[in-house]
C-alpha cells in the first residue's frame, strides 16, 4: 500500500517511517510534486490535520495522511498548542520558541504539559482521525541534543530524561506521534 505524507519535515518523516510496517510505502508530498507550504489556518490540531490531508487528496486523489502536533502547557491554559511552530516568531524558530516558553513559565509552579498529535487519514476518499498524547513536564533548561522542536525541554512522565536525550526508537515507543501512528497502523492493518 502506498501512502503520501503531507509533510516536508525530515525528522517527522523519519520518525513515522520507522514505525510503519514494510507493507506500507511512504511517499512525501515533495516526491509527488507538492513543494509549497500547505496552509495550516485552522484553530485546532484536528482542523489543521484535515486541511493538510485534504490538500494532498484534492491534488493527487491518492490515499494520504497528515499530522498536526501541539505542546499543551497546563499553566498557560494549553498554549502554545496549535500555535507551537510559530509561538515566538512567524517562522519555525525552535530556539526562540523554547526561550519564550521558559520565560512564560518562570513564575509558575505547575510545569505539567502534554504533547498531542492528531493524524488525519484519507483512505478511499474517507476521512479518519487518530489522537496520541504523552504527558510530562517542562524542564527548567535545555537537556540533550537529539530530536527537534521542544524536545530538549520536555520530559515524559516516568522517564528521567528529556526527549532530546532519547534514541529515536525509545522516543517513538512513548511519544504523542508514536501513539497516534500506532492507532493509524492498527486501522490500516484492518483494511
Ligand atoms: P507539527 O504540527 O508536527 O509541525 O508540530 C508543530 C510544532 O510542534 C513543531 O514545529 C515543533 O515545534 C513542535 N513539535 C511537534 N512534534 C514535536 C516533537 O516530537 N518534539 C518536540 N517538538 C515537537
86 lines ligand 1 (CB under 6 A): no
Per-residue pLDDT, 142: 98
Pocket perturbation via mutation, ligand 1, pick of 18, 71, 138, 143 by most ligand atoms within 8 A of CB: 71
Q: For the segment 142-164, what is each residue's pLDDT rounded down to a tens digit?
A: 999 999 999 999 999 999 999 99
Pocket perturbation via mutation, ligand 1, pick of 44, 69, 143 by most ligand atoms within 8 A of CB: 69
151 lines ligand 1 (CB under 6 A): yes
Q: For the whole model, what pTM was predicted?
A: 0.94
Say if residue 80 is preceded by a cis peptide, omega within 30 of 0.
yes
149 lines ligand 1 (CB under 6 A): yes
Per-residue pLDDT, 186: 93
> Is residue 162 within 8 Å of residue 138, measured between CB atoms?
no
Interior CA angle at 66 toward 64 and 67, to 5°? Answer: 150
Q: Whose CA is nearest to atom 13 of ligand 1?
A: 149
Any long-range contacts for 126-132 (C-beta under 8 Å, 24+ apart)?
127/50, 127/53, 127/54, 128/187, 129/46, 129/49, 129/50, 130/180, 130/181, 130/183, 130/184, 130/187, 131/180, 131/183, 132/175, 132/176, 132/177, 132/178, 132/179, 132/180, 132/181, 132/182, 132/183
84 lines ligand 1 (CB under 6 A): yes
Average pLDDT, the chain: 95
Which residue ranges in the chain fall short of pLDDT 70? Answer: none
Domains of the chain: 2-189 (3.90.950.10)
Q: For the segment 172-184, what is each residue's pLDDT rounded down to a tens digit?
A: 999 999 999 999 9
68 an active-site residue?
A: yes
Q: For the segment 133-146, what is each residue's pLDDT rounded down to a tens digit?
A: 999 999 999 999 99
Q: Whose CA is nearest to atom 23 of ligand 1?
A: 149
Amino acid at each position: 500500500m502506498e501512502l503520501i505524507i503531507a509533510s516536508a519535515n525530515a525528522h517527522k518523516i523519519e520518525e513515522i517511517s520507522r514505525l510503519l510496517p514494510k507493507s506500507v510505502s511512504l511517499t512525501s508530498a515533495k516526491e509527488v510534486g507538492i513543494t509549497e507550504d500547505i496552509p495550516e489556518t485552522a484553530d485546532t490540531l484536528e482542523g489543521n490535520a484535515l486541511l493538510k490531508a485534504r490538500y494532498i487528496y484534492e491534488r493527487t486523489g491518492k490515499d494520504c495522511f497528515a499530522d498536526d502536533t501541539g505542546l499543551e502547557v497546563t499553566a498557560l491554559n494549553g498554549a502554545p498548542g496549535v500555535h507551537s511552530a510559530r509561538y515566538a516568531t512567524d517562522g519555525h524558530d525552535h530556539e526562540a520558541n523554547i526561550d519564550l516558553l521558559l520565560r512564560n513559565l518562570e513564575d509558575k509552579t505547575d510545569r505539567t504539559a502534554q504533547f498531542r498529535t492528531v493524524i488525519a487519514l484519507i483512505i478511499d476518499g474517507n476521512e479518519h482521525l487518530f489522537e496520541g498524547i504523552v504527558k510530562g513536564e517542562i524542564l527548567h533548561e535545555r537537556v540533550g541534543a537529539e530530536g527537534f522542536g521542544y524536545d530538549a525541554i520536555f520530559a515524559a512522565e516516568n522517564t528521567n530524561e528529556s526527549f532530546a536525550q532519547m534514541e529515536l526508537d525509545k522516543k517513538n515507543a512513548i511519544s504523542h506521534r508514536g501513539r497516534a501512528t500506532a492507532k493509524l497502523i492498527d486501522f490500516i492493518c484492518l483494511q
